[in-house]
């Protein structure tokens, strides 16, 4: 079976993008991993309308990427703050990869907007592709993709 013979409905990239594929969802997640927790802070920093932000937060919570935690300021009603879940942290390397790509292709002459460094040694953090045996720094030339066990044949669509 070749790539074009596989039904793309089973694709994990597609399923992931169904949840976080909208630009605003990734920007909300970017802010959440950097410590933003409250609705008004997301709205101010990301620059979204209240309706769009509400919708995206609801989807990220329903998808298990963010979780809510109630808080209450003195004299105010109880509200929710948003915390990154374990599932959300699994997307952190994706955010780092997007950051690296942006810095490589659209770098600001002043340097990175966010300087991510290893806490122990102080070196910049980067995303590395490696195999399960630990061979690091693989490129697309080093790998071969083939249909896996979940691949289903594409059902031909009727022609009109």
pLDDT in tens, 36-76: 999 999 999 999 999 999 999 999 999 999 999 999 999 99
The pLDDT value given to residue 8: 87
Percent of the chain with pLDDT over 90: 82
Domain boundaries, the chain: 1-89
Q: Which CATH number fits domain 1-89: 2.60.40.3120, 3.60.40.10, 1.10.10.10, 3.30.230.10?
A: 1.10.10.10
Least confident of 3-7, 30-34, 77-81, 106-110: 3-7
pLDDT in tens, 99-152: 999 999 999 999 999 999 999 999 999 999 999 999 999 999 999 999 899 888
Predicted TM-score (pTM) of the model is 0.87
User: Using a CB cutoff of 8 Å and minimum separation of 24, what contacts does 142-145 make?
Assistant: 145/3
Taking the CA of residue 82 as centre, how many other CA atoms within 13 Å lie in the half-sphere pointing to its CB? 28
Taking the CA of residue 108 as centre, how many other CA atoms within 13 Å lie in the half-sphere pointing to its CB? 7
The pLDDT value given to residue 101: 96
Partners of 78 in the beta sheet? 72
The pLDDT value given to residue 46: 95
Give the residue carrying structure tokens 């990869």: 97
């Amino acid at each position: 079976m070749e790539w074009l013979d596989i039904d793309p409905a089973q694709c994990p990239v597609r399923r992931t993008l169904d949840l976080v594929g909208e630009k605003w969802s990734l920007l909300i997640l970017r802010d959440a991993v950097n410590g933003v927790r409250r609705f008004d802070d997301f709205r101010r920093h990301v620059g979204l309308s209240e309706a769009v932000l509400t919708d995206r937060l609801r989807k990220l919570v329903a998808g298990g990427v963010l979780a809510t935690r109630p808080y209450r300021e003195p004299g105010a009603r109880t509200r929710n703050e948003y915390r990154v879940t374990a599932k959300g942290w699994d997307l952190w390397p994706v955010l780092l990869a997007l950051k690296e790509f942006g810095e490589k292709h659209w770098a600001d002459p002043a340097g990175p907007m966010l300087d991510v460094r290893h806490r122990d040694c102080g070196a910049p953090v980067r995303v590395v592709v490696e195999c399960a045996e630990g061979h690091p720094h693989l490129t697309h030339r080093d790998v071969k993709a083939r249909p896996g066990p979940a691949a289903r044949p594409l059902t031909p669509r009727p022609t009109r």
